[in-house]
Amino acid sequence: MTFQSRLMVAIPLDRKRVGDLKALLKTMNLAPGQANPTNPLVPFGKLENLHFARFVILDDQTLDDVRLYRIPRQEYPLYLAFLCDFDGSRADFLSDLVRYAGPGLRRLFSFCEGFTDGTDLLQWIQDHDLPVATSYVNWAGRTVKQVREEASLRKVIGTYLRDNAHTLEGQPASLIWTQMRKFVEAETKNGRLTLTPPALTPRDVKIGNAIHLVGVGALIALLFPAVALLVLLRIRPLEKTDLEFAPRPNPEHAGQLAILEDHEITNQFSAMGSLKPGLARRWVLSYILWVINWTARHIYTKGRLARVRTIHFARWVFLDGKKRILFCSNYDGSLDSYMDDFINKVFFGLNVVFSNGMGYPTTRWLLADGAWDEQKFKYFLRRHELPTEVWYDAAPGMTAIEMERNSRIRDGLDAATLSEEAARQWVQLL
Amino acid sequence: MALTLPRYLRKQRANGFSSCEVIELPATSIDPKDVQGLVRFGYARLTEACYLLLRIRDAAAARAWCATAPVAPAEFQEHPPEVAMQVAFTWAGLSRLGVPSDVLAGFSAEFQSGMTGDENRSRRLGDVGPSAPSEWLWGGAASTPDVLVMLFALPNKLEQWRTAQEGSWAAAFELIHCLDTSDLNGHEPFGFKDGISQPEIDWAVTRNGGSDQITYTNLVAAGEFLLGYRNEYGKYTDRPLLDSNDPLGGDLLPAEDMPAKKDVGRNGTFVVMRTLEQDVPGFWKFLDGQSGSNADTRQQLAESMVGRTIEGEPMAQTSAVPIEGIDSGPAGSSNRFTFDQDPAGTHCPFGAHIRRANPRNTDYPDVPSWWLPRVWSKLGGASKGMRTDIKASTRFHRILRRGREYGTGLNPTHAVLERQVRDEKRGLHFLCLNANIGRQFEFVQNAWLMSTKFDGLSGESDPLLGNRTPIGDGLPTDNFTIPREAAVRRCIAGLPQFITVRGGEYFFLPGIRALRYFSRVGEWSGRSQ
């Protein structure tokens, strides 16, 4: 199995040149925010292991919210962030990236502080790669190549079904299954279809995963009483006095974000904000993100993050000494339906994380209420959202659920035998 | 005869209060005299109707008209009315009327920007290509109306009623469009019985919103259809409020959630109106081609697209147990069903119109009663199947439909013989009511009807409403699939576009006190400075 990895560089920008940088970023797009896969700066399409990528300027519009706590506004650097989700090792990906997009990235990074003509690009990227607090992958091990091959498989099967509707009519499911197997085998043999077998999991990755599962799992369990105590003694009293601040997003900001959305089926989301002041919040949030990261790595690996099935990749990253946090995701459907899905299915999961951010709708015991105040929650998210200047999706128009279905079709074909009932269910996937 | 006290009084007695104490009314009650009738009635008896799209000619005259306009309320009357008038405003219309800017700013973003306000909204609603707002007959940048007046009347009574009303507002409004309607006997232009399924508003205000709805209910919180009451989340949807000392506030009711404010939204709601032109010959000719010109198969195919028979019987099995909010007698028989007994879509296809428009699901697909498995199921542990738990919970996405048809009827037999592709204009003036346009109408339209990925499907949107626009660089969306028991699904490819949007806008249907408040807004000109 090939594991998915990620990259996020965030580099301070020269504020005076942000306008020029935005103009340059726009040249990479086909439509607002939608990357041209063959753009000359970063030809994303050539990076065959890349699932998603984005450029976003981390210009937090909510820095004044800290005044809720009678703390003066604090200034942070303005960052250019570049994020990628890809298959395989970081070293392999970076070498591809530098090979295909070296000059383009140099041009983009030239807007950043400290980047000069003489800078070693690869080293620079490695130096500015930020550690991720939590990362989520919809389906561990599903590569871009697999997604594309399985999409072709389904397409070929669809054509076959249409052309052979008459002969297949009235056949039992198991016979249809046998026939499809023969057909797909023939297509693979004559080279019209490629279905690459999954790669073996490298031993060091296997060992690393096992250590993480047990080691981090044990640490999480050990720390739990301390965190529970912290919530009881510190967080719960704070929840009673923390102020909500979720006004309606300003229409201009909302409009800017809307322009970038719903060009295909999948959408991007980038949002940032400041943590509530105090070490308790910082510790609790770090712990929670650690737990979520552990569950995402070991439990939620097969198409579901709790009950949510529309997220392809997501991550939380701390910034500026854990004073601020960035959340980025790639999801199916419109932002409203995404937020509805979250509120109705996992509002408690949103609360445990986002309620540590300033202004979040009031929660009880970290879990209750909060996002259930649907309108305030939606305002809160929209207000903290950032325009993603450039966004790349390797499989546009394909939902995570379709990818899962295509894999199930393939798994059915790969099975040695199928019972009549299993064959029936398999046929219904087609 | 013993006097039966309402429960809240009985409780107070039991607590030792004497009956002469000041008795607190229950937190909420809806005064139907303050609600426009359309929220409660479809006015089916009043078979003649027209929708007048007006522009304000003179704001002072328009305000004066608002003071006395004979708008029909939602209370039951001993003698059912022979005529009824309802009035609604666009955001631009309210602004032109002179409603202060801070009040205008209190309306939802969707209403403020309007149906055609930004390209993203048009993309989400599917209003692209031939349905794009630039092609519309009304609405959109070129001809957004200020006011929508709806007139309903008994047969042969409309003309006179309309003339009288137009006389009363001649100085105030000019007519931009009159949208006529026709009475097709409860059937929409393709021939299907329409308007069977409607949510039941909780007029008694018993639903308070909660997080675990595990059986399907058709009874929906009042706040989903009227501003100023709790919605399905138990919260109050945003709407404009006034300070209680505002001199123009008058008899506006206080806001339940903020008693120090007066509620301009209370007893009002939003009207979504869209003129949907239906290509009836195109629809039946296409199906005729798919069914070898066999009239029975043709009709069956149409029925599987709709999810109901021509006469309105659902293809899904009727539920053996009663459903809250649906008549348990024969009157509710064609509405008493869910899709729970049809997990493979072999009775009613997943993509059928009624299954998309109202999936009739709950907050959880199935919830174990033991707490540990229950927590596990909430954390996603129980969901394994391909299609389990992939639709949003229905109760947050209901709309109340009040549309009317236009054009003449055309039965399938004649439709297939029609020589010209589009002979006469016919279709539906779709009209629905909801308190939150984004979460209700727009969600249903975007995530369910127009979605090409609804319920795990690929490559198809609503068989009737779909615009068939390919995704990105050419993924088709013009299919319709019919799952079959133990067989490969039937796939019908190449569906043409049967319905074209010809106009549309978002309106605010005020409560009657709010309508009278609008008549006062110009009186104090210093207000918004």
Write down the ipTM of this complex.
0.94
Give the C-alpha separation, B89 to B521, whole Å: 15
Contacts of B206 (CB under 8 A, 6+ apart): none
| Token pair 């050990």 in the structure block, residue | A222
Q: Which of A161, A259, A334 sits opposite B124 (nearest CB)?
A: A334
Minimum Cα–Cα distance from B489: chain A residue:
A428
**A121 at B interface, C-beta within 8 A:** no
Q: Is the pLDDT of residue B20 over 60?
A: no
Average pLDDT over residues B121-140: 94
Q: Which of B109, B211, B487 sits opposite A251 (nearest CB)?
A: B109
Task: Say whether A430 and B488 touch across the interface (CB within 8 A).
Answer: yes
How close does chain A come to B452, measured CA to CA in Å? 8
H or E element at residue B273? strand B269-278
| pLDDT at B7 (0 to 100) | 41
Average pLDDT over residues A69-74: 91
| pLDDT band at A56; cut points 50, 70, 90 | very high
**B372 at A interface, C-beta within 8 A:** no
What stretches of B476-516 adopt beta strand conformation (E)? 480-484, 487-492, 499-509
Average pLDDT over residues B368-382: 80
Average pLDDT over residues A29-37: 96
Dihedrals phi, psi of A308, to nearest 5 degrees: -90, 130
Give the C-alpha separation, A413 to A425, whole Å: 12
Q: Is the pLDDT of residue B26 over 80?
A: no
| pLDDT band at B342; cut points 50, 70, 90 | very high
Dihedrals phi, psi of A220, to nearest 5 degrees: -60, -45
Q: B315: closest CA among B364, B267, B350, B348?
A: B348
Instruction: Show residues of chain A in contact with B235, CB under 8 Å.
Output: 372-375
| pLDDT band at B528; cut points 50, 70, 90 | very low
Of A330 and A169, the one with more pLDDT: A330
| pLDDT at B9 (0 to 100) | 36
Give the C-alpha separation, B390 to B383, whole Å: 10
Minimum Cα–Cα distance from B113: chain A residue:
A251
DSSP per-residue codes, A325-384: EEEEEEEES-HHHHHHHHHHHHHHHHHHHHTTBTBPPPEETTTEEGGGSHHHHHHHHHHH
What is the Cβ-side half-sphere exposure of residue A90, based on CA atoms within 13 angstroms? 14
Average pLDDT over residues A222-248: 94
Weakest mean pLDDT among A90-104, B15-29, B92-106, B404-418: B15-29
| pLDDT band at B380; cut points 50, 70, 90 | confident
Task: Say whether B471 and A169 touch across the interface (CB within 8 A).
Answer: no
Contacts of B9 (CB under 8 A, 6+ apart): B19, B23
| Token pair 């409560």 in the structure block, residue | B511
| pLDDT at B320 (0 to 100) | 86
Task: Say whether A161 and B109 touch across the interface (CB within 8 A).
Answer: no
Q: A330: closest CA among A377, A402, A399?
A: A399
How close does chain A come to B392, measured CA to CA in Å? 6
Q: How many residues does chain B have?
A: 529
Q: B306: closest CA among B266, B269, B361, B353?
A: B353
Highest mean pLDDT pick, A337-346, A399-408, B414-423: A399-408
| pLDDT at A48 (0 to 100) | 95
Task: Say whether B489 and A430 touch across the interface (CB within 8 A).
Answer: yes
**A172 at B interface, C-beta within 8 A:** yes
Q: Is the pLDDT of residue A425 over 90?
A: no
| pLDDT at B523 (0 to 100) | 61
Q: How many residues does chain A have?
A: 430
Average pLDDT over residues A251-270: 94
How close does chain A come to B475, measured CA to CA in Å? 8
Task: Say whether B443 and A405 touch across the interface (CB within 8 A).
Answer: no
Where are the alpha helices (H) located in B320-447, listed in sequence order?
353-357, 371-378, 412-417, 443
Give the C-alpha separation, A46 to B71, whole Å: 64
Q: What percent of chain B has pLDDT over 90?
A: 73
Measured from the Cβ of residue A340, the count of other Cβ atoms closer than 10 Å reads 22
B219 beta partners: B200
**A65 at B interface, C-beta within 8 A:** no
Instruction: Show residues of chain A in contact with B375, CB under 8 Å.
Output: none
Instruction: Show residues of chain B in contact with A165, CB under 8 Å.
Output: 488
| Token pair 């709709």 in the structure block, residue | B306
Give the C-alpha separation, A159 to B404, whole Å: 41
**B394 at A interface, C-beta within 8 A:** no
Q: Is the pLDDT of residue B157 over 50?
A: yes
Distances (CA, A) of A408 to A154, A189, B280: 11, 21, 40
| pLDDT at B487 (0 to 100) | 82
Task: Say whether B123 and A251 touch across the interface (CB within 8 A).
Answer: no
Q: Which of B120, B442, B471 sits opposite A259 (nearest CB)?
A: B120
How close does chain B come to A16, measured CA to CA in Å? 31
Of A405 and B4, the one with more pLDDT: A405
Task: Say whether A336 and B489 touch across the interface (CB within 8 A).
Answer: no
Distances (CA, A) of B529 to B137, B303, B493: 37, 59, 60
Minimum Cα–Cα distance from A160: chain B residue:
B488
| pLDDT at B371 (0 to 100) | 82
Instruction: Show residues of chain B in contact with A308, CB under 8 Å.
Output: 380
Weakest mean pLDDT among B19-28, B68-77, B117-126: B19-28
Distances (CA, A) of A155 to A95, A265, A412, B364: 33, 18, 16, 33
Of A240 and B367, the one with more pLDDT: A240
**A175 at B interface, C-beta within 8 A:** no
Residue numbers of A between 250 and 309 with CB closer than 8 Å to B: 251, 254-255, 258-259, 261-265, 300, 304-309
Task: Say whether A427 and B491 touch across the interface (CB within 8 A).
Answer: no
Q: Is the pLDDT of residue B420 over 80?
A: no
Q: Where are the domains of chain A?
A: 4-141+201-393, 144-197+399-429
| Token pair 């795990």 in the structure block, residue | B456
Q: What percent of chain B has pLDDT over 70?
A: 92
Minimum Cα–Cα distance from A422: chain B residue:
B486
Q: Is the pLDDT of residue A384 over 80?
A: yes
How close does chain B come to A126, measured CA to CA in Å? 34
Q: A395: closest CA among B387, B451, B472, B458?
A: B472
A359 beta partners: A244
Q: Which of B121, B123, B390 sits opposite A309 (nearest CB)?
A: B390
Q: Is the pLDDT of residue B210 over 80?
A: no
| pLDDT at B421 (0 to 100) | 52
| pLDDT at B211 (0 to 100) | 67
| pLDDT band at B481; cut points 50, 70, 90 | very high
| Cα angle: B213, vertex B214, B217; to 5 degrees | 65
Q: Is the pLDDT of residue A182 over 70?
A: yes
**DSSP-based three-state secondary structure for A30:** strand
How close does chain B come to A154, measured CA to CA in Å? 11
Instruction: Show residues of chain A in contact with B240, CB under 8 Å.
Output: none
Task: Say whether B456 and A405 touch across the interface (CB within 8 A).
Answer: yes
Contacts of B260 (CB under 8 A, 6+ apart): B243, B244, B254
B419-423 contacts, C-beta under 8 A, 24 or more apart: B420/B281, B421/B279, B421/B281, B421/B282, B422/B279, B422/B281, B422/B282, B423/B281
Contacts of B329 (CB under 8 A, 6+ apart): none
* Residue B474 Ramachandran class (φ > 0 left, ψ -120 to 50 alpha, else beta): left
Q: Is the pLDDT of residue A223 over 70?
A: yes
Q: What is the pTM (predicted TM-score) of this model? A: 0.94
Q: Is residue A62 within 8 Å of residue A249, measured between CB atoms?
A: no
Task: Say whether B488 and A168 touch across the interface (CB within 8 A).
Answer: yes
DSSP per-residue codes, B168-226: HTTTTEEEEEEEE-B--TTB-TTS-B-----PEE-TT------S---S---EE-GGGTS
Task: Say whether B471 and A261 touch across the interface (CB within 8 A).
Answer: no
Q: Is the pLDDT of residue A335 over 70?
A: yes
Q: Is the pLDDT of residue B241 over 80?
A: yes
Give the C-alpha separation, B412 to B325, whole Å: 34
**A422 at B interface, C-beta within 8 A:** no
Task: Say whether A161 and B491 touch across the interface (CB within 8 A).
Answer: yes
Q: Is the pLDDT of residue A238 over 90?
A: yes
Amino acid at site A370: G
Give the C-alpha separation, B442 to A185, whole Å: 45
Task: Say whether A264 and B472 touch across the interface (CB within 8 A).
Answer: yes
Average pLDDT over residues A153-160: 91
Instruction: Show residues of chain A in contact with B483, CB under 8 Å.
Output: 428
H or E element at residue A56? strand A50-58
Structure tokens at A96: 């591809």
Q: Is residue A107 within 8 Å of residue A397, measured between CB atoms?
A: no
Minimum Cα–Cα distance from A371: chain B residue:
B233
Weakest mean pLDDT among B184-193, B352-361, B378-387: B378-387
Give the C-alpha separation, B153 to B43, whole Å: 9
**A404 at B interface, C-beta within 8 A:** yes
Q: B494: closest CA among B289, B220, B348, B328?
A: B289
Distances (CA, A) of A278 to A134, A354, B160, B479, B494: 21, 15, 72, 56, 60
Q: Which of A161, A263, A265 sits opposite B453 (nearest CB)?
A: A265
Q: What is the DSSP secondary structure assignment for residue A253, as one 8-state letter?
A: H
Inter-chain contacts counted by CB atoms under 8 A, chains A and B:
127
Average pLDDT over residues A365-375: 92
Give the C-alpha separation, B299 to B297, whole Å: 5
| pLDDT band at B374; cut points 50, 70, 90 | confident
Q: A345: closest CA among B40, B115, B170, B364?
A: B364
| pLDDT at B25 (0 to 100) | 42
Q: Is the pLDDT of residue B107 over 80?
A: yes
Average pLDDT over residues B298-317: 95
Q: pLDDT averaged over chain A?
A: 93
